[in-house]
Structure 1
Amino acid sequence: MKKKFTLWAYFAVAFMLAMSSFSIANVVEAAIPKAGFIFFHDEASTYDANFMRAAEQACREQGVEFVFKTAVPESEECTKIAAELVQEGCRIVFADSFGHDSYMAEAAKKFPAVYFITATGVKSHTANLPNYHNAFATIYEGRYLTGIAAGMKLNEMIAEGKIAPNKAKIGYVGAYTYPEVISGYTAFFLGVRSVCKTATMDVLFTGSWYDYDAEKKAAEQLVAGGAVLLGQHSDSMGVPSFCEANNIPNVAYNESLEKEYPKTFLVSSKINWKPYFTYIIDSVKNGKAIARDWTGHMADGSVEISAINERVAAKGTARALAKAQKKLSNGKVNVFDVRKFTVSGAQLNAFEAAISEGDVREAVKDGYFHESEYRSAPYFDLTIDGVNLLNTAY
């Protein structure tokens, strides 16, 4: 009888251990979040492709299943797609476009147990939803550095007699007159001006984030107006392809185009979203809070510039950028140093930035404009001297 009891006890313990192991495995599996990603365009857009690469890398490294939804419009369709991702088991839903912001906030209301995040958005400040978040990075740092590369190229062209100092004009193709675009091209121009004092810049807006024909046409118009080097905040290959065909140096965005356009690609900047994606996945896995509004920096790897195309860049460019990057990182240089630019002929000594509804803050302190410090999305929206806007319809 004792032996029988012992045998049954053995089987009972073994069964309990087996069930315990099964339960623990299930809990661990359940704790690994599934992530859904909403993209405004597809991989043909350099902007969206940059997010896709970072999302895939972060998810694979973290052992997380992921789902991509592409060509999602900035409309109620976004809320619908977000809900579909939740129904597919996603505990994290991320959207990559400013125009998705309000629609993602609506989804967050419906699914309080799911984390919703929109890049470049601002609604996290007013939505009052613990599961809704925004994120961006100080891309103006990268833009500033690529501007230095562009300015050095202009200096080389002047030294070689290709252009006169007063003809050092840059053309810039922008999508919209949003602070994100204005902040970016201003930082770029300030980088140019830090090394080429005679430089000016014409800006032309297309009214679209991704429109190959419109961007190419804008590039043509800018060059016809005297631009000898082009930059962009738009997402197609319209500008780089025009530059390559017409031997115009080009500063790109979101990825290196040296392989595709070896004769004219100079350098590019981008936000590296992998650190943020890794952060939110780790936070959800371990039950840690996610920052309501997160800002990445060059110092933490969230802002990068590509390798210099030495065949196009002026001599010494790589060394100059490394030196400037070090000064940015240690605070010896501030991109929006108000001593370095004027607005309507005067130094900018004060500026009330509207961070969100009812939240207005002084952005100029300690001699510089404090961009992306009160919220991640940029709020610098001034036109500084030396920049000429050819249209403002968008």
Structure 2
Amino acid sequence: MKKIVGAVILALVVIVCGVTLFLNLSHKNNGSQASNTQETSGSNTTDSSKLKVGVILPGDETDSYSHSQIVGMKKMAEELNIPEKDIIWKIKVKNNDDYKSAVSDLSSKGCSYVVVTNDRLENAVIDNATEYENMNFVFVGGTSAKISKLKNVYDVALREYEARYVSGVVAGLKIKELAEANALQPESLDNDNNVRIGYVGSFKDAKTISGYTAFFLGAKSVYPQITMELQYVDGKNKIDAEATSAQLLMSRGSVIVAYDTDSHSIPAMVQMQKDGGKPAFCISSDENLSEDAKTAQLAAVEDQWSVVYKDIFSKVLNGEKLDRDKSYGYAEGALLVSDFSEEAAPNTKETVDSLEQQFKEGTIKVFDTSKFTVGGKALSKATIDLSYYKSDDDEEALFKGKSKNAIVSENGITYFAESKFRAAPYFNYVVDGVVELEVSEPNPKE
């Protein structure tokens, strides 16, 4: 299989280069700007004009994830009357050395709070937290704050699987419409007449697996005869790799492609295929990218980071204690699936509105164990080790956590309780019906 996939990828290089050139031209001057502004020192008080916040981003305004973070942080600052000049940005912070340099500079500028948005930097955050005891670190996607002895680290995460499930329903509605209209091409069906959809994942980790599984289950809840092929790119904002992966999935028959990577190249590639006459559609990630996929985008998963940061910094300004570990989802107003195109199936918006309300009321269990199997069997037990290991090869935990069975029953439903025991995802099972085309070794934590 790997030889076949490799051959197809080589054949796609010219197409990918075209997408890359298009993106470079169309996004050269687009988006909110994040810059490293020189500031004078400030103090941590309840006076919003004196609160200084550092923001560490893995990318910049040209990738959808970092851009959504920038938009969310700026909206929070405006609503809480924090001067924009007191939000200090550090962009393209990707490794331990970058992180140490960024934190040192933010400390010298008087930042009392630092928001770290790159979840690959957990070891760096832990290693440097004790050196800067006068600073507080809000870590997006962190897994160790609650079990560590660090008093100045706070983990937050979105319950992204909720929105992925809803976006999967959007995809399922479109598949149903196409199937009923006999508009599917032969290559879009496998040997069992299951419709192929595709997903481009960043890393093979619990965050990606939780998200794509929720998307898959959402689609199957509408149209059960679906199979999903998955391609990992082992990174974020890898423009060429993401475009190549999307094209590969579509060349194998995927009608709809979703993803959790950060560049604009996947929507652009899907639009290119649709313009060429294929039934090709996408669900955009992080924010609305309809400018890249004017008729191919069915909807967009839009993270509402302003809600997260307003909750955190309202507490800071009011002198309230921060949660050591907290997740945000529909109930808090931190997720949204919107920007439905004319290509979306009829009644899509009404269906999504209903689902989102059910999430707010807590009546939907995404990982209902009656809805999926693993290795042909229902998941009856799922032991989750909540300890923190600096490396996947370590036998001894840096911070020891409890082991929990994530399978619980409530109101007659047995389900995997994602986000119950920790904010960051821990669903780590490849369910039946999902086919991994290529699996990379996980990147080590920085």
Query: Normalising to structure 2: TM-score of the pair?
Result: 0.80
Q: Cα deviation per residue 1:240-275 (whole Å; 9 max; x = unaligned)?
A: 111001111101101112233211001121331112
Kindly indicate whether the alpha-carbon contact (under 8 Å) linking 1:40 and 1:74 is maintained by their aligned counterparts in 2.
no
* Residue aligning to 1:368: 415
- Equivalent residue of 1:125, what SS? coil
* Residue aligning to 2:13: none
CA distance in 2, matches of 1:349, 1:150: 28
* Residue aligning to 2:368: 337
Q: CA deviation at 1:289?
A: 1.1
Matched, 1:251 2:280: no
CA distance in 1, matches of 2:238, 2:354: 36
How does 1:223-262 map onto structure 2 within 5 Å? 223-247=250-274, 248-262=280-294
- Equivalent residue of 1:204, what SS? strand
- Equivalent residue of 2:139, what SS? strand
Kindly indicate whether the alpha-carbon contact (under 8 Å) linking 1:105 and 1:127 is maintained by their aligned counterparts in 2.
no
Matched, 1:347 2:378: yes
Q: CA deviation at 1:27?
A: 7.1
CA distance in 2, matches of 1:76, 1:125: 25
CA distance in 2, matches of 1:27, 1:75: 30
Q: Rg: which structure is higher?
A: 1
Q: CA deviation at 1:167?
A: 4.6
Matched, 1:324 2:342: no
Q: Cα deviation per residue 1:263-322 (whole Å; 9 max; x = unaligned)?
A: 10011213311122112222222221111111112111111112311x110111111111
* Residue aligning to 2:321: 289
CA distance in 2, matches of 1:202, 1:30: 48
Query: Taking structure 1 as reference, are residues 387 and 28 closer, same or farther at Cα in structure 2, changes over 3 Å only?
Result: closer
Q: CA deviation at 1:28?
A: 6.3
Matched, 1:382 2:429: yes
Where in structure 2 are there 5+ consecutive unaligned residues? 1-43, 275-279, 388-399, 442-446
Where in structure 1 are there 5+ consecutive unaligned residues? 1-25
Q: CA deviation at 1:226?
A: 1.6
Kindly indicate whether the alpha-carbon contact (under 8 Å) linking 1:96 and 1:119 is maintained by their aligned counterparts in 2.
yes
CA distance in 2, matches of 1:116, 1:28: 18
Kindly indicate whether the alpha-carbon contact (under 8 Å) linking 2:286 and 2:302 is maintained by their aligned counterparts in 1.
yes
CA distance in 2, matches of 1:49, 1:63: 21
CA distance in 2, matches of 1:297, 1:349: 26
* Residue aligning to 1:103: 124
Which stretches of structure 1, 4 residues or longer, exceed 3 Å deviation after superposition?
26-32
CA distance in 2, matches of 1:122, 1:196: 35
Instruction: Identify which of 218, 230, 241 aligns with 1:191.
Output: 218
* Residue aligning to 1:55: 73
How does 1:82-161 map onto structure 2 within 5 Å? 82-161=103-182
- Equivalent residue of 1:202, what SS? strand
Q: CA deviation at 1:127?
A: 3.1
Name the structure with the higher helix share.
Answer: 1
Query: Taking structure 1 as reference, are residues 32 and 390 closer, same or farther at Cα in structure 2, changes over 3 Å only?
Result: same
* Residue aligning to 1:174: 201
CA distance in 1, matches of 2:158, 2:220: 23
CA distance in 2, matches of 1:280, 1:48: 19
CA distance in 1, matches of 2:58, 2:361: 36
- Equivalent residue of 2:112, what SS? strand
Q: CA deviation at 1:176?
A: 0.7
Kindly indicate whether the alpha-carbon contact (under 8 Å) linking 2:48 and 2:81 is maintained by their aligned counterparts in 1.
no
Instruction: Identify which of 338, 341, 351 aligns with 1:306.
Output: 338
Of residues 237-246 and 273-282 in structure 1, the stretch that sits farther from structure 2 once superposed is 273-282
CA distance in 2, matches of 1:324, 1:283: 30
Counterpart AA for 2:62 = A
CA distance in 2, matches of 1:77, 1:212: 21
